[in-house]
Amino acid sequence: MRNITVTKASMPEYEEFIEAIKPLWDSRRITNMGSYHQELERALAEYLDVPELSLLVNGHMALEMTIQAFHFPEGSEVITTPFTFVSTTHAIVRNGLKPVFCDIKKSDYTIDEDRIEDLITEKTVAILPVHVYGNICNAERIGEIARNYDLKVIYDAAHAFGETYRGRGVGSLGDASIFSFHATKIFNTIEGGASAFASHELYERLYNLKNFGIRGETLVVGVGANAKMNEFCAIMGLCNLKHVERDIAERKQRVGYYLKKLEGRKELDCPVYRDDIRYTYGYFPVLFREELCGCGMRDIVYERLKESGIYSRKYFYPVTSDEVCFKNKYRDIAIENARYVSENILVLPLHPDLEYEIMDEIAEIVTECLDTRTTERGM
């Protein structure tokens, strides 16, 4: 049985990586912010067009430690989105803070900036929006709200690696932005992540947090953990960075192909791309409009693809606020858009090497399911 996954890890040629890691056998320095770690940190700061960047072991720890670095009082509230990977919410909770969930916009699935102010209380300390599927949040309005109420803005930019917004690297928005370099992302270091920001003080705080607070052979200046990126991962990142533009170009071609195959289907909302954003095409989500194709169409298509060995993803389902770990604590909050999108959206396979014949098959299965439902409903 074949196995067509929703994504596939980008990797350099085997020989390229093997050649790149050879010096490690001479130096035997494979961790503790070695030369490759430092080189990748500089290279990514330049590529992402951000003033400061700190590498960490993964995207979750980048977010969790970035939040920690702001020293928010325990029990403070952070306004965030429920339509995200659970990591976003867990990072808030694990810092002893309370997530306050704001609904999203159906247009691009990002946080609804017009609903944020109604959620602000005397305990609110920050806004944590997410650039979903590479759709950039309304940074101007969010920034204005933050300034008016003296709040910090920390962006989860795990879906927006390499993107620019009106000529600026997305990592320069807000007080900080975090990126994930997980194997499933556009750019990967096998496992890894980074926090981008303008404040060098924040860089120093994160350095201490990710390295036990060690600042010398006999000097520990603070209580920290171990969240450093190792040299093998850094080298994988340096190799992949050489090829990331090629991968983005291939992704763009495939996104265009999907759009042509699915255009004209009024039952579907496909991605819409704005002129003021430079996209890197990490995902291809399709929203099945329940009012036009009925309930459950997303799940029907998901199962039909799976029967053919094609694995799409219900991403994100359920909304993070409704996960069982929160024991129905947030079930009564008004997030109707987020729940609607969560129950009707499907992310289709997309990666630089995805065969066009497979994309034809995926599009055919989607349209066949829609046509069958239309016939059944007598429309």
Instruction: Please write the tens of the pLDDT for every residue from 68-115.
Output: 999 999 999 999 999 999 999 999 999 999 999 999 999 999 999 999
Q: Is the pLDDT of residue 373 over 90?
A: no
Cβ–Cβ < 8 Å for 47, 162: yes
Q: Which of 302, 328, 303, 326 is nearest to 315 (CA)?
A: 302
Token pair 């035997």: residue = 28
Neighbour count for residue 335 (Cβ, 10 Å): 22
Give 130's strand partners: 156
Phi and psi dihedrals of 185, rounded to 5? Answer: -85, 170
The domain over range 243-377 is classified in CATH as 3.50.50.60:
no
In the three-class reduction of DSSP (H, G, I as helix; E, B as strand; rest coil), residue 328 is classed as coil
Q: Is the pLDDT of residue 193 over 90?
A: yes
In the three-class reduction of DSSP (H, G, I as helix; E, B as strand; rest coil), residue 273 is classed as coil
The dihedral formed by the CA atoms of 216, 201, 65 and 144, expressed in degrees to the nearest 10 = 180
Confidence (pLDDT) at 276: 96
Tell me the C-alpha distance between 57 and 206, whole Å: 12
Q: Is the pLDDT of residue 376 over 90?
A: no
Instruction: Give the start-end residues of each E strand in 45-145.
Output: 52-56, 77-80, 98-101, 124-128
Neighbour count for residue 376 (Cβ, 10 Å): 9
Q: Which of 214, 255, 224, 246 is nearest to 349 (CA)?
A: 255
Residue spans of the domains in the chain: they are 14-238, 243-377
Lookup: tokens for 19: 């050649």
Token pair 């759709």: residue = 135
Looking at residue 10, its amino acid is S
Q: Which of 123, 121, 117, 107 is nearest to 72 (CA)?
A: 123
Tell me the C-alpha distance between 310 and 358, whole Å: 9
Q: Is the pLDDT of residue 377 over 70?
A: no
Cβ–Cβ < 8 Å for 106, 339: no
**What are the helix and strand counts (H, E) for the chain?**
12, 15
DSSP-assigned letter for residue 88? H
DSSP-assigned letter for residue 226? B
Alpha helices in the chain (DSSP H): 14-21, 23-27, 35-47, 59-69, 86-93, 139-149, 200-210, 231-262, 290-293, 297-307, 336-344, 356-377
**Residues ≥6 apart with Cβ < 8 Å to 145:** 113, 116, 117, 120, 127, 151
Tell me the C-alpha distance between 78 and 369, whole Å: 41
Q: Is the pLDDT of residue 8 over 70?
A: yes
Q: 161 preceded by cis ω (within 30°)? A: no
Model confidence over 207-258: pLDDT tens digits?
999 999 999 999 999 999 999 999 999 999 999 999 999 999 999 999 999 9
Tell me the C-alpha distance between 141 and 327, whole Å: 33
Tell me the C-alpha distance between 330 and 315, whole Å: 20
DSSP-assigned letter for residue 69? H
Model confidence over 141-163: pLDDT tens digits?
999 999 999 999 999 999 999 99
**Residues ≥6 apart with Cβ < 8 Å to 135:** 108, 109, 110, 271
Model confidence over 316-362: pLDDT tens digits?
999 999 999 999 999 999 999 999 999 999 999 999 999 999 999 99
The domain over range 14-238 is classified in CATH as 3.60.15.10:
no
Mean pLDDT value across residues 281-306: 97
Q: Is the pLDDT of residue 119 over 70?
A: yes
